[in-house]
Chain A
């Protein structure tokens, strides 16, 4: 159980997290956002590694700042770059953490934890000799060692090969059945596959949250529609702009970009009818939905497409 209220984290002048609020219960909650969105910062606050500047975070029933030790007892954390002691064997590493955690039957529990991530055969291998995917799993085994109520995994699938990614996702889904799992990623499709709930964060603010299906719907509806016709489309602008459900129309690539007036009113049927009625042949029409890769590109290139109202938008093309 994670409960976050108005969380702010400031590093000097930089505000990394700008007052976010959310809660997560049993199951897998995805924390989605481009690099630098504030995911790691938030996770570090939730694991009591660093305190929030203001705001409150309660994890497993304890305040991360006031009752840091209690929180740390109940949280399993896999940091982004998976720091490990490379000179130890996987088993030794887990036993070391188990001793600090005060776990009895350290060897058995460590071994079980390794078996859970499918690494029992490499228990005696030095971590330095393990592949990246195996190390990631050692890190995960370390995070679940003490059967924590809350599991926090920072980009656990990054840098793995496709097969390893699939295995790890399966494991995360599995873990979500018993634990509250918060896991971050910047891959939209990954969040859709693995998560029961998704929280999208960008520039330190939550821009959307809900189940993957809700989110997809919401984003598609809220997004603009791209229209392409067989001939020059500029003649269609006045007709489309006058539709009640359409807010604005502008040229875009080889077609038109139509922005809807409201989130709930899908303008596509009307657009299609108008285009056909004008005698033009409709070649393509699709909704432009939010995509993280595009948010990322937008942020890094300082390129802002037509959307202005919210910092939210943007991107990938989802076929309508």
Chain B
């Protein structure tokens, strides 16, 4: 655990000194901020006008912010993780680390947890919106909690998946693009499933693809306040699997080639 903790601390401090991490945070907060204020403004206008059949609630606004944030993870996750292993690889510092008495697993987990920590901070910052909404409405505490828990795990999954590519290539740009593509595919998989479900004979395949998609475990459930064990299990399993793959890739140089 000691090496993991050392790598984690170093990486967290890297994040909070990294231009790209701040740029990502700035971009995300700016975008969400504009979206949030226009939602609030639009909601208030519409509610006051009395014409809309259903009033806009504080919950809707809070959740739409999380919906956008999680959607944006296909950009955020690769930007936060592309550097993690690719840079050590390119700079050669990986060679030093790999000759230290530290398991590959500890190295990968330390790096990953640091990225997740940075994302967590980002996510916590969006709680400001919930607080603001609390002054003009009454957000549902349970609903918000589940949606936030989901958004946190969702971020964890996308970071883990995007990080795999940082281990594959030492080119950060390539890692970022491949990471973005992979997360986007996981996000869009449910649309593909929907498309396939129109063909009766492909029902099984469609259901399988839907189960693998990110949206079927967040946007369709937790973001609506539905707390299901299977969604949590999905997130945890995908994270563990992605980290396992990353560890294998990092350690692959140690395999005996015949």
Contacts and interface: CB of A to CB of B under 8 A. Distances in A.
B99 A75 contact: yes
B101 interface: yes
Interface residues of B, number: 27
Interface stretch (B2-10, B55-63, B117-125, B192-200): B2-10
Contacts of B92: 79, 81, 83
Interface in A94-150: 96-97, 99-102, 142
B58 to A, nearest CB: 43
A48 B99 contact: yes
Given A83-B92, A100-B6, A53 B102 contact: no
B255 A100 contact: no
Contacts, number: 68
Nearest to A86: B91
- Chain A interface residue count: which class? 20 to 34
Contact of B257 (A53, A81, A99): A53
Nearest to B2: A102
Given A51-B256, A53-B256, A75-B99, A87 B17 contact: yes
A48 B6 CA distance: 21
A99 B13 CA distance: 15
Interface in A53-96: 53, 65, 68-69, 72-73, 75, 77, 79, 81, 83-85, 87, 96
B99 A72 contact: yes
Interface string B247-258: 000000111111
A47 B253 CA distance: 13
Given A72-B100, A79-B95, A101-B100, A96 B257 contact: no
Given A49-B95, A83-B92, A100-B6, A73 B101 contact: yes
B173 interface: no
B4 to A, nearest CB: 9
Nearest to B6: A99
Nearest to A43: B99
Interface in B1-60: 2-3, 5-7, 10, 14, 17
Contacts of A142: 96
Given A83-B95, A87-B17, A97 B100 contact: yes
B117 to A, nearest CB: 18
A96 B99 contact: no
A110 B170 CA distance: 30
Contact of A96 (B6, B91, B98, B101): B6
Contact of A99 (B2, B97, B254, B255): B2
A50 B254 contact: yes
Contacts of B103: 69
Contacts of A281: none
A10 interface: yes
Contacts of B7: 100
Given A96-B10, A102-B2, A49 B91 contact: no
Max chain A Cβ within 10 angstroms of own Cβ: one of B10, B17, B101, B254: B101
B2 to A, nearest CB: 5
Contact of B254 (A68, A73, A96): A68
A310 to B, nearest CB: 30
Contacts of A102: 2-3, 101
A49 B254 CA distance: 7
A77 B109 CA distance: 24
Contact of B99 (A10, A51, A77, A85): A77
A49 B100 contact: no
A63 to B, nearest CB: 12
Interface string B68-105: 00000000000000000000000111111111111100
A96 B11 CA distance: 11
A52 B256 CA distance: 7
A167 to B, nearest CB: 23
B99 A47 contact: yes
A273 to B, nearest CB: 58
A97 B7 CA distance: 10
B38 to A, nearest CB: 39
A87 B93 CA distance: 13
Given A87-B17, A99-B2, A72 B101 contact: yes
Given A65-B256, A97-B100, A102-B101, 5 more contacts: A49-B95, A53-B258, A69-B101, A79-B96, A81-B92
22 contacts: A10-B257, A11-B257, A48-B99, A48-B254, A51-B254, A51-B256, A68-B254, A72-B100, A79-B92, A79-B95, A81-B92, A83-B91, A83-B93, A85-B93, A87-B14, A97-B96, A97-B100, A99-B6, A100-B2, A100-B3, A100-B6, A100-B100
Question: Which 9 A/B pairs are nearest by Cβ-Cβ distance?
Answer: A83-B92, A99-B6, A83-B93, A47-B99, A73-B101, A72-B101, A100-B3, A51-B256, A100-B6
Interface of B: 2-3, 5-7, 10, 14, 17, 91-103, 253-258
Interface of A: 10-11, 44, 47-53, 65, 68-69, 72-73, 75, 77, 79, 81, 83-85, 87, 96-97, 99-102, 142
